[in-house]
C-alpha cells in the first residue's frame, strides 16, 4: 500500500480523535440533556471546549482537500518521494495542531496549520507535474 494511502488511513483515525475529544468536551460543557435533546437553543462553548471544537472544524475543512489530493495521485499513479513526504507532513502537522490549539498557542498554531497546507500542496502538485 502506498505511503499516501497509509497516511490517509491515519488521518481518518486522527479525525475520529478530534471528533471524540470535541464531543466529550461539549458534553461536559453543555450537559447530557442538551446533547441528547433537540438543541433548539444554542449553549455557547468557552475555553478549552471552544478551542477544541474550532480545531475539529478546522480539521474537517482541510481533510477533504488532503483526501482528494491523495486519491488523485494514487489513482493517477503519480506518487513519489515528494507526495509521500507531503502526506506525512500533513498528518504529523494535524497531530501537533490539536494540542497546540487546545493549549492556546496562537502563532505556533498558525505555523502548524501552514505546514499541513504545505503538505497538501506537496501531494497535489504531483498531479500537475
Q: Which three cell numbers stand for residue 74?
A: 494514487
Q: What is the pLDDT of residue 110?
A: 98
Q: Note down the domain range covering 79.
A: 3-125
pLDDT band of residue 36 (cuts 50, 70, 90) is confident
Q: Is the pLDDT of residue 105 over 90?
A: yes
Say how many domains are in the chain: 1
Please say whether the beta carbons of 51 and 102 come within 8 A. yes
Q: What is the pLDDT of residue 13?
A: 99
Residue 69 sits in a domain whose CATH number is 1.20.120.550
Neighbours of 2 (CB within 10 A): 15
Q: Which three cell numbers stand for residue 106?
A: 496562537
Angstrom distances, CA of residue 47 to CA of 24, 53, 65, 128: 14, 10, 28, 42
Amino acid at each position: 500500500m502506498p505511503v499516501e494511502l497509509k497516511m490517509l488511513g491515519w488521518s481518518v483515525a486522527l479525525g475520529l480523535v478530534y471528533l471524540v475529544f470535541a464531543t466529550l468536551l461539549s458534553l461536559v460543557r453543555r450537559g447530557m440533556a442538551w446533547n441528547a435533546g433537540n438543541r433548539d437553543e444554542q449553549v455557547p462553548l468557552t475555553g478549552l471546549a471552544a478551542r477544541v471544537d474550532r480545531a475539529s472544524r478546522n480539521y474537517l475543512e482541510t481533510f477533504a482537500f488532503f483526501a482528494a489530493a491523495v486519491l488523485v495521485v494514487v489513482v493517477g499513479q503519480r506518487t513519489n518521494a515528494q507526495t509521500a513526504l507531503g502526506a506525512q507532513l500533513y498528518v504529523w502537522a494535524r497531530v501537533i495542531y490539536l494540542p497546540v490549539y487546545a493549549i492556546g498557542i496562537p502563532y505556533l498554531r498558525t505555523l502548524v496549520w501552514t505546514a499541513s497546507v504545505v503538505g497538501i500542496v506537496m501531494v497535489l502538485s504531483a498531479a500537475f507535474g
